[in-house]
Amino acid sequence: MRDDTQLTQEECYQIEALLKMEHHQSEIAVVLKRHKSTISRAVRRSPAEAAAGKLLFMVGAETAQLERARPLLDAMGDTVLHCGAVGSGIRMKLVLNPLSQATCQLSAEVVALGLKLGLDAASFSPVM
């Protein structure tokens, strides 16, 4: 069983699909050949923030497992959010993805409208 590597994107999708089919997390661990206490890692923020050690981790894990991993997470980021049991971190990430995408799209539309109205593109950054 692997429990020392980051979840792949495919594994994240598999977790979400299996949870939707109401599989228990122990069953999912068997399917993915992962230990049931494996932390489901979901990371947000940019590559620049990663380089600066400013990552945000949404973690699904048993409390003891999170505390065991916390020194490593703290070394890589400045925010560790315990979202609940194993699998909760990736579910939180998947729930928030549409919000992030909608925000990006709406921001682009607002800038496009402003440009059409003759506003200077540089003036958007400080107010958005």
**Number of domain units in the chain:** 1
- Cβ-contact 69, 61 below 8 angstroms: yes
Averaged confidence pLDDT in the chain: 82
Range of the domain at 30: 9-94
- Given a cut of 60, whether residue 127 has pLDDT beyond it is yes
What is the average pLDDT across 49-59? 87
| Angle 8-97-125 from CA coordinates, rounded to 5° | 120
Say which CATH number the domain at 85 has. Answer: 3.40.50.720
Is residue 117 predicted with pLDDT exceeding 90?
A: yes
CA distance 111 to 125: 10
In a domain, 113, yes or no: no
* Mean local confidence (pLDDT), 51-75: 90
Catalytic residue among 33, 36, 93, 116: 93
- Residue 17 burial (10 A CB sphere; 0-12, 13-18, 19+): exposed
Q: How confident is the model at residue 83 (pLDDT cuts 50, 70, 90)?
A: very high
Is there a catalytic annotation at residue 36?
no
Q: In whole angstroms, how far apart are CA 83 and each of 18, 73, 125?
A: 19, 14, 32
Global model pTM greater than 0.75:
no
